[in-house]
Amino acid sequence: MKQRLLQLVAQTDLTVTDQQIDQLVGYVAMLDKWNKAYNLTSVRDPYEMLVKHIMDSIVVSPHLNGERFIDVGTGPGLPGIPLAIMNPDKQFTLLDSLGKRIRFIRQVIHELKISNVTPVQSRVEEFQPEIGFDAVLSRAFASMNDMVSWCHHLPASNGCFLALKGQFNQQEVTELPEWCSVTEVKSLHVPELEGERHLVILTAKD
């Protein structure tokens, strides 16, 4: 599996250390094991997880500006865990309302010795951070409107929202609230993944 991940990474501009490769593969192994009992992801094949979960998450890494990030609706830790492994100098809060997912994330950070992740079990609208985040990440929300509406209290004054999307839908942009606008749309290349992937960057208007 390690060889397979190295092959995939080689198709990108990403630099990944041996330790990071080991942690990413270790995460997939744990996800595969826990998935049998807890149904954490619909992707059943670990080799498919490398493309659909690991690569799909880490291609966002070069676009992370700042030091403090929150992954809302993280599920089993996606994209938060792979991004935390790739960026050991940045801090990640992983938020989910389901206890079994947060238990899994706690086990992952314990076993893989990941020191820059804080798991939080809470509904997003009830979570009140002491300091705002540089960016709010999510690949789970149905629409960008839902994401910015439910998470509007999470970014710092100069923070932004990073929505991981498949196809970029112009219709979603027209549905955004008045106070929010799309500042950039980046097309992401995920090796061997069928379909488009985009990173949509949204900010509050001054």
Annotated binding-site residue? 132: no
Residue with tokens 């992401």: 188
Say if residues 117 and 105 touch (Cβ distance below 8 Å): yes
Residue 40 to residue 49: CA distance in whole angstroms: 12
Token digits for 200?
A: 């949509």
Annotated binding-site residue? 73: yes
Annotated binding-site residue? 78: yes
Q: What angle do CA 35, 102, 65 make, to 5 degrees?
A: 105
Annotated binding-site residue? 136: no
Cα 178 to chain centroid distance, Å, stands at 26
Say if residues 52 and 35 touch (Cβ distance below 8 Å): no
What is residue 30's DSSP assignment? H
CA distances to 16, 20, 63, 196 from 24, in Å: 10, 6, 19, 23
Annotated binding-site residue? 199: no
The binding site for S-adenosyl-L-methionine consists of 73, 78, 124-125, 139
